[in-house]
Structure 1
Amino acid sequence: MLGAALFFSSSAPAAAHDPRAAGLDRLVDEVQARYRLPGLAVAVVEDGKVVYARTDGELVAGSGRKIGPDALFKIASNTKSMTTALLARLVDAGKLRWDDPVTKHLPDFRMHEDWVTREMQVRDLLIHNSGLRAGAGDLMLWPEPNRFSRGDVIHGLRYLKPVHSFRSRYDYDNLLYIVAGEVAAAAGGAPYEQLLRREVFAPLGMDGCRVGAFARRDAAPLAQPHARREGRYVPVREDGDAIAATPMDPAGGVRCGLDDMTRWLRAWLDPAAYSRDGRPWLSAQQRGELWRAQMPMTPTRRQREWSGTRFAAYGYGWRLSDFDGEFKVAHTGTLMGMYSLTALLPERKAGFVVLINGDAGDARSVFDQVLSQRYTRMRDGRPRGERGVAWYADAIEREAAAPAAGRAPDTSARRPAQPDELRGRLGVYRDPWFGEVGLCARGGEVEFASRKSPLMTGKIVRVGPRLLVDWDAEEVDAEAWIDFAAAAEPAAFSMSKLDPDADFSYDYEDLAFARVGDCG
């Protein structure tokens, strides 16, 4: 059991005798008033106890079905710290080592360069030092659903060309966490999802969490993702009755509720609580490895100006930094319509989790700052120079409104491209890792259609001398330029983001298509 917990619903004020909880309620109320999120769940853990927990909003906006503490949210990349914890358990069991060559466990593993294949160790899969572009190959994972398998993802790695030298710098990566999941499966003798349930969920009592395939009726209620459309949140990519396993499970496929996420926080802040027969769930040595700086990162401008951050690094599945001079361990998770945050301040024996079922990067940033500073800016029990929700929200809005904030060009003069304009260029094209797409005439226009990623279907439009893909699905929210190679035989084209600041998972820049056949 977690010990005493204070739980307040959105409709009930905090107890008057507990100013700490009342202050947290005001904080959540302010964020909700500012961003009007479809639903959220927030909890704070101190000294091994849940001192605050609150859920607010609905599973689906307008449904009347309220979010409770067991409602499952996609935690996205917060899954990564669970994957590394699984690997650490296998290290404790003597089944693998961090410096094992990946090919020891996966003989068919290949990177683009042979020497990188030989040198790639298990630890390298986890710290974003591969030399690949940020988000390289993510179009095999998103948008969902698609028809890529985990085997396709791992095979595709050999075709992704590095843009930097191996181990020379940090660039965020998802595909190598999928490889890490397969390393765990090979070393542990069971599928990744089964191992995660056995080695992480079961011993920590996180029984409500789900990973891999499951029936909706066999789980707690599912919070559904929402996107902002015309000033309001609407549900997108809603779940059906059967939830399928996905290739990206080890990188971002876990779903958990607030209750289970507080158990996850407590496992890190109060490890003795999960010892059995005098043996800890994870050894002190491996806990230290997970939180040791493995790859330097450059603090962002916000970190430097808002938190005085001078140190930032990636551990195994965790981001490490100093916040107002105190050690902070954290990670975020982002999928379309789902945002999450876990943060730990070990020296304060405190941590918090935020789960949101809407596109809410700004709200998440505000929560991170105001919840962190409640601990780092306290002196003698009083806040020191504390900034509130409004201060951070206003600062974020000013950044977004700055003249240089948006770099996407004006494409309002677009018009549909006609098949005759692309005579000699229509056909079926193939990229070595993404597979086949068609550029074919459809009803007097030209359609781009991916064979393995059905949502990546759209109309080709002309913007001045250039061609652009206008995607049909609202879920694909980063349009792409198409640039044909001059005098190439066979015809070939590359792609790039219309908006240079679009999510890096729209990995158009790593695509290189060559014509392989006719339409039809």
Structure 2
Amino acid sequence: MTPRLSACLLVLPLLLVAPVSAQETASAPTAATALPAQLADFDAYVESARKRFDVPGIAVAIVKDGHVVLEKGWGVRKMGTNEPVTAHTQFAIASNTKAFTSMAISMLADDGKLSLDDRVIDHLPWFRMSDPYITHEMRVRDLLAHRSGLSLGAGDLLYWPGTTYTGREVAERLKNVPINGSFRGQYAYDNILFGVAQLVVEQASGQSFQSFLDTRILGPLGMKETRYNSDFLKPGDEFATGHAALDFKDVRPLAAPMTWSNVAGAGGIYSSVHDMARWMDVQLAGGIISGSGDDAKRLVSDKRHDAQWQVVTPIPVSKPSVPQLEPLKPNFAGYGEGWFLSDYRGHKLVWHTGGWPGMVSKVTMIPDLGVGVVVLTNAEMGGAFNSITYRVLDAYTGASKTDWVAAYGAALDKSRGDADEGWKKHLAQREAASKPSLPLAKYAGTYRDPWYGDVVVERDAKGLRLRFTRTPELVGRLEHWQHDSFIVRWDQRWLNADAFVDFDLDHDGVIQGVRMQPVSPLTDFSFDFQDLRLAPVATP
């Protein structure tokens, strides 16, 4: 939940929203009456992004200086239906949830219930990392800043794509997740520590995380269309269905909404662009809930709001994958407390993306211009939300029009081409005539990883099958690759996460361990198979 960005990266004309009813809430940004002239063709532009990136439905909201300039949907909530996406359609916002978790921590700091300099073990005495020094020195702020020493997406298989572990069990298993970097030494995006931050919120507040969000954030902001996670979608809710490209090719709807009730603080929330406009408005207002006179209230202090938008962890700036994206290269990049920070055309950006099985999204703000844009989509194509976001940012920064759809389309084509070339190299190196060293039945058994748990290889009439015991979706057929290496082809083809499975044999031909590695570079990083250290479990 992290950002699932490895693949890229209605009837009326442009609809302006009506004034918000006074009965709704004082927190709602008021309506404006005009878009920049540069967005006069915005309908056609969004439709071009939908077509280029094969996205069934997109919703967008734009706020400016406390006004909702636009909130609208395009396309459908599910392929094969006529149910339109509107401003009120609920999507999984995934890692955009992290800013809500950060806000909860800041509010508790304002309440005097914690300090961001507190040790995590001050609030969760049982908390352990695999390094005792990091365990002792990990502060609450470190949970929000991706600088723990964990590798990219470490531990994500504990809840991705959905497991039977509880939130407490996920956090407790951190004690065995390997540390591959130095503590506070570099940036590496993780999700699991935001699950720990959720537990800190619960301990410090005395409330469930759901209750805290509902009573302290969503309720005061009037975010009536926002749900804690997909388990809390209600009958009559206008929620979108996620879509994925099976085997990276044919886009199809997913069978059912995914849920991460065990790490909701990292990416659980469902929301609409209508509600997310309220969220951006309070952010751009410095934590003040919009109102007039004595009705104005503050969600969070100036001090804590500003701290969330200050760089805690610098992020190296990389070269764009294609020349067309060169104008987007920032001068600086970093991560604050639940927010990415960078610059664009001389303006500071505060932003985040979200990636979920079948849905990706982006929230972006230009604080000094009072501008915010949110793009929610029901397919796994970052090129769509990026190309739409930058068209809006260009309109408000006075930049000339750029066809970002074409630019991100070129990046998508390159990433797919690179993946195809990588597969050709694998094929060229393969000794296809080789045979497994052992009879297939010898590979069957239970293999245990210290942090994930058990993975089972079973022999049946057709060969071998592999099953992750705590992850119902991770079941597939083992196909022989070469020597003692196989490829697991998952039954659920929308996962796009087939992996090499390499058995390590000793000099006597006894299996000592199993390692895994995603086959395609397009596979989402949350399939952190490479961190598994599977060893055979002795049978009694």
TM-score of the aligned structures, taking structure 2 as reference length: 0.86
Identify the range of structure 1 (354-363 vs 60-69) with the bigger mean alpha-carbon deviation: 60-69
Q: 1:66 to 1:136 in 2, by over 3 A?
A: same
The aligned counterpart of 1:266 is: 281
Selected match of 2:449 from 418, 431, 437: 431
Q: 1:450 to 1:307 in 2, by over 3 A?
A: closer
Matched, 1:183 2:200: yes
TM-superposed deviation, 1:453: 0.8
CA-to-aligned-CA distance 1:205-227 (integer Å, 9 cap, x gap): 11210014755444622101011
The aligned counterpart of 2:239 is: 222
The aligned counterpart of 2:375 is: 354
* Equivalent-residue separation in structure 2 for 1:444 and 1:32 (angstroms): 41
Residues 161, 471 of structure 2: 8 Å contact kept = yes
Q: 1:102 to 1:219 in 2, by over 3 A?
A: farther
* Equivalent-residue separation in structure 2 for 1:212 and 1:390 (angstroms): 31
TM-superposed deviation, 1:203: 1.2
* Equivalent-residue separation in structure 2 for 1:449 and 1:106 (angstroms): 33
Structure 2: stretches of 5+ with no match in the other structure: 1-9, 17-33
Matched, 1:141 2:159: yes
The aligned counterpart of 1:13 is: 13
Selected match of 2:489 from 466, 470, 484: 470
AA at the equivalent of 1:111: M
Matched, 1:330 2:351: yes
The aligned counterpart of 1:7 is: none
* Equivalent-residue separation in structure 2 for 1:143 and 1:274 (angstroms): 38
Identify the range of structure 1 (272-281 vs 34-43) with the bigger mean alpha-carbon deviation: 272-281
TM-superposed deviation, 1:422: 3.5
Residues 267, 273 of structure 1: 8 Å contact kept = yes
* Equivalent-residue separation in structure 2 for 1:48 and 1:372 (angstroms): 17
TM-superposed deviation, 1:309: 1.0
TM-score of the aligned structures, taking structure 1 as reference length: 0.89
* Equivalent-residue separation in structure 2 for 1:56 and 1:470 (angstroms): 35
TM-superposed deviation, 1:454: 1.7
Matched, 1:375 2:391: no
Q: How many residues align?
A: 500
CA-to-aligned-CA distance 1:233-291 (integer Å, 9 cap, x gap): 3211424xxx8661121000000012101111111123444367664111111110100
The aligned counterpart of 2:319 is: 301
The aligned counterpart of 1:387 is: 402
Residues 60, 87 of structure 2: 8 Å contact kept = no
Q: 1:77 to 1:51 in 2, by over 3 A?
A: same
Selected match of 1:165 from 182, 185, 189: 182
The aligned counterpart of 1:6 is: none
TM-superposed deviation, 1:423: 4.5
Residues 308, 324 of structure 1: 8 Å contact kept = no
- Greater RCO, CA 8 A, separation 6+: 2
The aligned counterpart of 1:457 is: 475
CA-to-aligned-CA distance 1:364-410 (integer Å, 9 cap, x gap): 2212322222223x1xxxxx443124442443245336558853455
| CA RMSD between the two structures | 2.7
TM-superposed deviation, 1:35: 3.1
* Equivalent-residue separation in structure 2 for 1:235 and 1:368 (angstroms): 24
Residues 440, 463 of structure 2: 8 Å contact kept = no
Structure 1: stretches of 5+ with no match in the other structure: 1-9, 379-383
* Equivalent-residue separation in structure 2 for 1:268 and 1:449 (angstroms): 44
Q: 1:143 to 1:20 in 2, by over 3 A?
A: same
Identify the range of structure 1 (110-119 vs 307-316) with the bigger mean alpha-carbon deviation: 307-316
Residues 419, 446 of structure 1: 8 Å contact kept = no
Matched, 1:486 2:502: no
CA-to-aligned-CA distance 1:72-120 (integer Å, 9 cap, x gap): 1000000000110111111111111001000011000000010100000
Residues 407, 501 of structure 1: 8 Å contact kept = no
Identify the range of structure 1 (158-167 vs 29-38) with the bigger mean alpha-carbon deviation: 29-38
Q: 1:225 to 1:132 in 2, by over 3 A?
A: same
The aligned counterpart of 2:27 is: none
The aligned counterpart of 1:5 is: none
